[in-house]
Amino acid sequence: MIRDITIGQYYPEDSFIHRLDPRVKLLGTVLFIISLFTFSSFSGYIVAALFLGTVIKISKVPLGYIIKGLKSLLMIMLFAVVFNVFFSTGERVLYEYGVIHITAEGLRNAAFLSIRLVFLIIGSSLMTFTTTPTQLTDGIEKVLGPLNKIKVPVHEIAMMMSIALRFIPILMEELDKIMKAQTARGADFENGKLIERVKAMVPILIPLFISAFRRANDLAMAMEARCYRGGTGRTKMKPLTYKKLDFYGYCCLAVYFMLTILAGRAFYI
C-alpha cells in the first residue's frame, strides 16, 4: 500500500506536457478542477474524461502508474460515496429503513462525487508527474507574483509547497523501511481488528515523526549554511519564458473550456 502512493512524485519523460511552462500546467489544473465542480450532467464529465485521457496519452505517463496512486485513497472515496448514497435526501425514494434513505438523487450525487474525486486526483497528480519540484516552485511564484504588492511572501509560500511535495516520496520511502523493519521483528499490520491494526501503527508513527523532524532540521541548517534569505534579490538559473508550445497549450485549454460550456448547455442527463 505504501508503494502505491505516487502523489508528489515526478515521472521523467520527454513529452509535450513535460515541456510546457509550469504556469500553463498550474492554470490548466486549476481550470480543470473548477470545471469538475460546475458540471450538472454526465455529458460534462464525458468531455472531462476525453480531455483527461488525451492529456494522459500525450504525457506518456503509464495509465497503470497513475491508477496505482488511487489505491491509497480508495477508502476515503468509498466512505464519501457510501455516505451520499445512504444519507442524501431527495424526492424519489428508492429504499428507506430508519435513518437510511436511498434516493435517485443520492445515487446521482454519489456517481458525480466518485467521478469528480477520481478526475480531481488524476488531474492534480498529472501536474506533479510532469513538473519537477523546481519548476513547480518557479511556476507558483510567478502565478502568485502580483500578491507581492500587498506584502504576501509569495516566494516563501512557493518554497514551502515545493518542499512539502518533495518530502512526500521521501517520507513514504522512510515509512516503507520502518514497516519492513517492524515486520522483521514480528509486527503484524495486516491481520486483526481495526483497533488492533491502529495500535500496531504506533511503533511506526513515532520513528517516522522523529525522522521527519530530523530531516527538516538538516534542511534548515543546510539552507542557513548557504545564506538563504528568501526571495528578495534572488535570480534564477533558468528564468521562465513563454514559448510557442505554451501558447498551443493555452489554446487547448480554451477549447476545453468552450466544450464544457457547450456540453453543459446542450445536455442534461
Please tell me the distance from the alpha carbon of residue 152 to that of residue 145, in angstroms, as a whole number. Answer: 9
In this prediction, residue 267 carries a pLDDT of 47
**Grid cell locating 83:** 455516505
Q: Are 33 and 152 in contact (CB under 8 A)?
A: no
Q: H-type helices in 88-189, by residue range?
A: 104-129, 133-143, 154-184
pLDDT of 231 higher than 70: no
**Grid cell locating 91:** 424526492
For residue 77, give the nearest of 41, 114, 122, 36 by alpha carbon: 114
Q: Are 101 and 86 in contact (CB under 8 A)?
A: yes
Cα separation values, 83 from 12, 37, 39, 79, Å: 38, 19, 21, 6
Mean pLDDT of 201-220: 84
Write down the mean pLDDT value for the chain.
79
pTM, rounded to two decimals? 0.74
In this prediction, residue 87 carries a pLDDT of 66
In this prediction, residue 45 carries a pLDDT of 85
In this prediction, residue 213 carries a pLDDT of 87
pLDDT of 68 higher than 60: yes
pLDDT tens column, 159-210: 887 787 777 777 877 888 888 887 787 776 666 666 766 677 777 888 888 8
In this prediction, residue 156 carries a pLDDT of 80
CB burial class (10 A; 0-12, 13-18, 19+) of residue 239? exposed
In this prediction, residue 42 carries a pLDDT of 78
Mean pLDDT of 253-264: 82
Please tell me the distance from the alpha carbon of residue 153 to that of residue 155, in angstroms, as a whole number. Answer: 6
pLDDT of 143 higher than 50: yes
Mean pLDDT of 216-223: 86
pLDDT of 2 higher than 60: no
Confidence category of residue 261, pLDDT binned at 50, 70, 90: confident
Q: Where are the domains of the chain?
A: 2-168+240-266
pLDDT of 99 higher than 70: no
Confidence category of residue 5, pLDDT binned at 50, 70, 90: low
CA dihedral 81, 83, 84, 90 (to 10 degrees): 160
Cα angle 126, 131, 136; round to 5: 115
Mean pLDDT of 152-159: 80
In this prediction, residue 98 carries a pLDDT of 65
Position 155, amino acid: H
Q: Are 155 and 235 in contact (CB under 8 A)?
A: no
Q: Are 169 and 201 in contact (CB under 8 A)?
A: no
Mean pLDDT of 100-127: 81
For residue 164, give the nearest of 195, 133, 119, 185 by alpha carbon: 133
pLDDT tens column, 81-90: 777 777 666 6
In this prediction, residue 268 carries a pLDDT of 44
In this prediction, residue 123 carries a pLDDT of 87
In this prediction, residue 251 carries a pLDDT of 92
Cβ neighbours of 220 (radius 10 Å): 11
Position 8, amino acid: G
